[in-house]
């Protein structure tokens, strides 16, 4: 169980939108409860709507199966993306500090990308940080050094200069979670629609919950966490 903060860029001159959510992992997938928007706690009516949404999801078998499929697909796509990293780039030792080994990477000219994710990786330079004791990826950041064209440019492109940053940390023995995810990409698709693949996400305040927690139990836990006064009731400061 943890706190997630997502900052989404505003559209057409609008201000960014910041959401704080309480997230809990269950045997049926992750459930989350919206806590605040732009620092404002939910009204009683909005909280009731959230409670109804979560309870409906937790007791709907078909919705839970869809949730599991979507989360599994996202996890598999992320795993596949990182599997291409050793082939897509050439890395070299940079430094060692506080138990982390830093590697610098640049595109491997011999690599031939077979997916959009691999194309993006292959156009990047940056750094990788490895936990030397557990041989785990602790962080990676990179920036696009050149334009990335999809379908020869017919399906769109990403502009050079885009960047991303991901950090991981050990929350319990052998259990690692992403704590920071920053993505800032810009380009055009089909020559006329500007796209902004932008996201800032942080995860904090991790708590261990039972491995066999059911969706209904998770929903009850979320309800108690968001309704009972305590140190986690108020969203973290910006």
Per-residue pLDDT at 192 exceeds 80: no
Q: How far apart are CA 117 and CA 78, in angstroms?
A: 9
Please state whether 26 falls in left (phi above 0), alpha (psi between -120 and 50) or beta.
beta
The mean pLDDT of 137-150, rounded to a whole number, is: 91
Per-residue pLDDT at 234 exceeds 80: no
Q: How far apart are CA 112 and CA 131, in angstroms?
A: 29
Residue 231's pLDDT is 39
pLDDT digits (tens, 9 = 90+) for 104-126: 999 999 998 888 778 888 889 99
Per-residue pLDDT at 237 exceeds 60: no
Which two tokens mark 39?
Answer: 């620092």
The mean pLDDT of 185-213, rounded to a whole number, is: 78
Contacts (Cβ under 8 Å, ≥6 apart) of 78? none
The mean pLDDT of 6-13, rounded to a whole number, is: 79
**What is the percentage of the chain residues whose pLDDT exceeds 70?**
91
The mean pLDDT of 54-62, rounded to a whole number, is: 93
The mean pLDDT of 145-151, rounded to a whole number, is: 86
Distances (CA, A) of 203 to 166, 231, 236: 11, 16, 11
Q: How many CB atoms lie within 10 A of CB 235?
A: 19
Q: Of the candidates 186, 185, 146, which has an alpha carbon nearest to the alpha carbon of residue 165?
A: 185
Please give the model's pTM, rounded to 2 decimal places. 0.78
Helical H segments across the chain, by residue range: 44-58, 61-83, 85-88, 116-122, 215-227
Q: Rounded to a whole number, what is the largest CA-CA distance in the chain?
A: 58
Average pLDDT, the chain: 86
Q: How far apart are CA 186 and CA 163, in angstroms?
A: 10
Q: Does residue 133 sit in helix, strand or coil?
A: coil
pLDDT digits (tens, 9 = 90+) for 149-177: 887 777 788 889 989 899 999 988 888 88
Per-residue pLDDT at 136 exceeds 60: yes
């Amino acid at each position: 169980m943890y706190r997630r903060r997502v900052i989404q860029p505003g559209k057409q001159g609008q201000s960014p939108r910041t959401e704080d959510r309480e997230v809990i992992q269950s045997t049926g997938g992750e459930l989350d409860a919206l806590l605040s928007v732009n620092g404002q706690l939910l009204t009683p009516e909005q909280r009731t709507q959230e409670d109804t949404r979560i309870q409906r999801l937790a007791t709907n078998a078909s919705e839970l199966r869809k949730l599991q499929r979507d989360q599994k697909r996202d996890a598999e796509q992320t795993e596949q993306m990182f599997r291409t990293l050793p082939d897509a780039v050439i890395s070299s030792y940079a430094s060692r500090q506080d138990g982390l080994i830093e590697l610098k990477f640049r595109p491997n000219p011999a690599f031939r990308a077979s997916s959009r994710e691999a194309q993006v990786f292959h156009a990047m330079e940056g750094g990788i940080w490895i936990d030397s004791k557990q041989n785990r990826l602790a962080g990676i950041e990179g920036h696009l050094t050149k334009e990335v064209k999809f379908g020869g440019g017919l399906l769109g492109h990403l502009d050079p200069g885009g960047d991303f940053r991901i950090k991981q940390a050990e929350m319990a023995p052998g259990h690692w979670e992403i704590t920071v995810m920053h993505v800032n990409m810009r380009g055009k698709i089909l020559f006329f629609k500007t796209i902004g693949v932008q996201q800032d996400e942080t995860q904090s305040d991790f708590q261990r919950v039972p491995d066999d927690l059911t969706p209904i139990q998770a929903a009850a836990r979320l309800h108690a966490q968001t309704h009972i006064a305590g140190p986690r009731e108020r969203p973290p400061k910006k």
